């Protein structure tokens, strides 16, 4: 990711805190595509990053900046993968790391944090409860909070997902350089990745990089068509039906989401009942002509089996939920069969022992 460092905030003379973040591949999913009635389905496999999740990008950036500013202690609330990444980069930088995670966070996430020597606090509640504890205690403990959107740096690191995509997609799909997919699907919790990608596509258009010409043109009619920026891919935010605050707000036409009651999903990264970036997500989705919609909890294992068994791709539960949302979008005609569709696999399935099929 550091080959984009001129577009990132770390001063150029300063070495980043890095664990060798590779460019993640874009792979075709032809058999899954056929099942969905699509001709072109792609996955950008973020499970190849350090600690096997896309959270590495934001944390590499945030911890690099923390070290730059002389921070000695960081803390954060997390659904699991961000805690693992913070622990890894914190260890690398020699920064004390304290993570607050729900007590039923996947065992691998808790284990990876401990392995990296982080202090792990298990909370009887959700990530929102963890966030409250960090906010209450950060002054007394001397922590710098790297909670989602509490600082500008995680989002800057996650922009590199969009930068890589812009560099890679045309070649991967046999289309002109710098072509972007028609539709991008993203499993949404706190929303950093979604917001970061739209931000960077706009930045690239702003510097005249001739980017963001979509692969095959116009979106389906939309009630906000006049506000839609035609040169951006349509961004689809998928949440689990057991925790879908952004979907509810989108459907209600609201700019802010309300706390989703009794949030529950095995796709632990999506168990975010409220996010301070709700309006940024909703603006991003609407301004691209996309949608927010749910995937069914009950479909997670089935989609994981299809992607892994037929296309060899180990989708995390969060991205399996995305495939279920995609089925709805195709069925409803929001996405047409010949369009170029790309989803993010935000982590490796192998981090989720609790969800992996046992039979």
Ligand X SMILES: Cc1ncc(COP(=O)(O)O)c(C=O)c1O
- Interface with ligand X (CB under 6 A): 53, 79, 81-82, 187-193, 269, 316, 318, 346-347
Cα–Cα distance for residue pair 284/180, rounded to 1 Å: 16
CB 40 within 8 A of CB 63: no
Nearer to ligand X, 83 or 215 (CB): 83
Cα–Cα distance for residue pair 38/217, rounded to 1 Å: 16
CB 158 within 8 A of CB 57: yes
Task: Take residue 218 and report the two structure tokens written for it.
Answer: 């116009």
Nearer to ligand X, 61 or 173 (CB): 61
Nearer to ligand X, 36 or 79 (CB): 79
Do β-strands 40-45 and 26-28 pair in parallel, antiparallel, or remain unpaired? antiparallel
Minimum distance from CB of 11 to ligand X (Å)? Answer: 26
Minimum distance from CB of 250 to ligand X (Å)? Answer: 14
Minimum distance from CB of 189 to ligand X (Å)? Answer: 3
Cα–Cα distance for residue pair 334/328, rounded to 1 Å: 9
Minimum distance from CB of 12 to ligand X (Å)? Answer: 27
Minimum distance from CB of 194 to ligand X (Å)? Answer: 6
The H-or-E segment that residue 218 falls in is none
Cα–Cα distance for residue pair 260/208, rounded to 1 Å: 40
Nearer to ligand X, 215 or 238 (CB): 238
Nearer to ligand X, 90 or 269 (CB): 269
Three-class SS state of 250? helix
Nearer to ligand X, 179 or 346 (CB): 346
Residue nearest to ligand X according to CB distances in the complex = 269
Residue entry with tokens 């929102």: 128
How much is the CA Rg of the chain, to the nearest whole Å?
19
Cα–Cα distance for residue pair 135/150, rounded to 1 Å: 10
Q: Specify the DSSP class assigned to residue 348.
A: B
Nearer to ligand X, 162 or 173 (CB): 162
Of 74, 108, 69, nearest to 91 by C-alpha is 74
Minimum distance from CB of 170 to ligand X (Å)? Answer: 25
Residue entry with tokens 């990711």: 1
Nearer to ligand X, 193 or 245 (CB): 193
Residue 77 β-bridge partners: 100
Minimum distance from CB of 47 to ligand X (Å)? Answer: 9
Minimum distance from CB of 198 to ligand X (Å)? Answer: 12
Number of H helices, E strands in the chain: 11, 12
């Amino acid at each position: 990711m550091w080959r984009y460092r001129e577009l990132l905030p770390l001063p150029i003379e300063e070495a980043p805190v890095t664990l060798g973040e590779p460019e993640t591949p874009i792979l075709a999913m032809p058999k899954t595509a056929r099942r969905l009635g699509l001709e072109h389905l792609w996955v950008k496999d973020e499970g190849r990053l350090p600690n096997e999740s896309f959270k590495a990008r934001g944390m590499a950036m945030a911890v690099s900046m923390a070290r730059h500013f002389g921070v000695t202690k960081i803390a954060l609330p997390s659904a699991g993968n961000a805690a693992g990444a913070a622990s890894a980069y914190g260890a690398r930088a020699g920064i004390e790391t304290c993570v607050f995670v729900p007590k039923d966070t996947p065992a691998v996430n808790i284990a990876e944090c401990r392995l990296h020597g982080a202090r792990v606090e298990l909370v009887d509640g959700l990530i929102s409860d963890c966030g409250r504890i960090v906010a209450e205690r950060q002054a007394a403990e001397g922590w710098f909070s790297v909670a989602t959107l509490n600082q500008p740096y995680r989002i800057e690191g996650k922009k590199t997902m969009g930068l890589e995509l812009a560099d890679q997609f045309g070649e991967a799909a046999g289309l002109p350089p710098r072509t972007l997919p028609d539709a991008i699907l993203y499993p949404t919790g706190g929303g950093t990745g979604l917001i970061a990608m739209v931000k960077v596509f706009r930045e690239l258009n702003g510097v005249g990089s001739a980017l963001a010409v979509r692969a095959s043109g116009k979106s389906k009619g939309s009630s906000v068509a006049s506000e839609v920026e035609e040169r951006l891919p349509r961004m689809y935010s998928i949440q689990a039906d057991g925790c879908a605050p952004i979907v509810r707000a989108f459907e209600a036409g609201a700019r802010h989401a309300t706390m989703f009651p009794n949030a529950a999903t095995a796709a632990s990264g999506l168990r975010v009942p409220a996010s301070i970036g709700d309006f940024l997500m909703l603006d991003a989705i609407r301004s691209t002509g996309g949608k927010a919609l749910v995937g069914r909890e009950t479909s997670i294992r089935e989609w994981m089996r299809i992607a892994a068994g037929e296309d060899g791709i180990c989708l995390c539960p969060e991205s399996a939920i995305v495939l279920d949302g995609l089925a709805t979008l195709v069925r409803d005609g929001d996405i047409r069969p010949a369009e170029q569709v790309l989803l993010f696999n935000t982590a490796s399935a192998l981090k989720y022992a609790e969800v992996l099929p046992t039979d």
